[in-house]
Amino acid sequence: MRALITSLLRFLLYIPRILFYMAGIVRHYNKGRRAFKKALKKEGLPSEVVEVLSREVEINLGWVFKLPRHILNHEEFNTLHDEDSD
């Protein structure tokens, strides 16, 4: 029973860590995108060209939001759940 409580508390303390990690990735991504657009505009490119180039170079951040689902489907989490159901 003590192991169950300990693992539950560890998991609950891990959730904010994941959320801050995801927020940091998104923040750096947005900052880089703004800096890229600003540098292109500083070079004197038209705004249409800047928009097209920024869309072409854009990185897909969909994997960041799939991360919590991956963690919940992890083997260690599933084996802990299976052990307690006996």
Domain boundaries, position 75: 2-84
> What pLDDT was estimated at residue 3?
87
> Structure pTM?
0.56
Q: Give the chain's domain count.
A: 1
Residue 29 near residue 54, CB atoms below 8 Å: no
Q: Which residue has the tokens 């029973």?
A: 1
Percent of the chain exceeding pLDDT 90 equals: 22
Please give the distance of CA 3 from its chain centroid, rounded to a whole number.
29
